[in-house]
Structure 1
């Protein structure tokens, strides 16, 4: 139930991004594409729907982690606006959310391995 709620939240955020897409720069369009793909992967994982091979989702999780690690570093270490406590709080919130999304994508790519292991042991 928790992953379903989290996937729903990710879809809401992606929908907000789609609705606001007309005002985005090219970098923000890349962010939107990544968010829509990751929200789709979370929904597929939460509802146990097989779509695309597991290596796609595991590779996507790795790319997602790498892409947003740069964003985390920028928010945590490069941004100089506002008090340090606000910058750190925003960076940690950003990191926790994106870590959870990446982990969900990794689980989506690993679902077939877990199902095969359950068949062998169960």
Structure 2
């Protein structure tokens, strides 16, 4: 139930930007596309819908994590202005959300894979 609620929350956050799509610059457009794809992956995982190979979702999870790690580093360590504690607090909150999304995407890539039965050895 928790992943389903989190997936719906991610869809709501991704949907929030739909009204502003025409005013986005290139970076904002990339962010929006990544967020929509991530929200879709979470919904697929939470509702156990098998779509696209697991390697795609695991690869996307890695790319997602790398993309937002760079964002986190920029916001937490390179941003000037405002109290440092507020900047770091916002960056950490955002990072925790994106780590959870990345983990959900990785699970989506791993959940539908078929694994053979463990080989039994007799001794």
Q: TM-score, normalised by structure 2?
A: 0.92
> May I ask how many residue pairs the two structures share in their alignment?
118
Secondary structure at 2:81 match in 1: coil
Deviates more, 1:88-97 or 1:19-28: 19-28
**Are 1:81 and 2:81 an aligned pair?**
yes
Matched residue, 1:108: 108
Runs of 4+ aligned residues of structure 1 deviating over 6 Å after TM superposition are none
Consecutive unaligned residues of structure 2, counting only runs of 5 or more, are 119-123
- Please report how far the alpha carbon of residue 19 of structure 1 lies from its aligned counterpart in structure 2 after TM superposition: 1.8
SS at structure 2 position matched to 1:81? coil
Distance 1:108 1:102 in 2: 10
Correspondences of 1:1-122 after superposition (within 5 Å): 1-113=1-113, 116-117=114-115, 120=117
Task: Measure how far apart 1:120 and its partner are.
Answer: 3.6
Say which is worse superposed, 14-23 or 63-72, in terms of deviation.
Answer: 14-23
Q: CA deviation at 1:44?
A: 0.1
Q: Secondary structure at the match of 2:88?
A: helix
Q: Deviations over 1:25-53 (max 9, x none)?
A: 11100000000000000000000000000
More displaced 10-residue stretch of structure 1: 53-62 or 12-21: 12-21
- What is the TM-score when the length of structure 1 is the normalising length? 0.92
Looking at structure 2, the residues matched to 100 and 9 of structure 1 have their Cα atoms a distance apart, in angstroms, of 12
Q: Quick one: distance in 2 between partners of 1:46 and 1:20?
A: 28
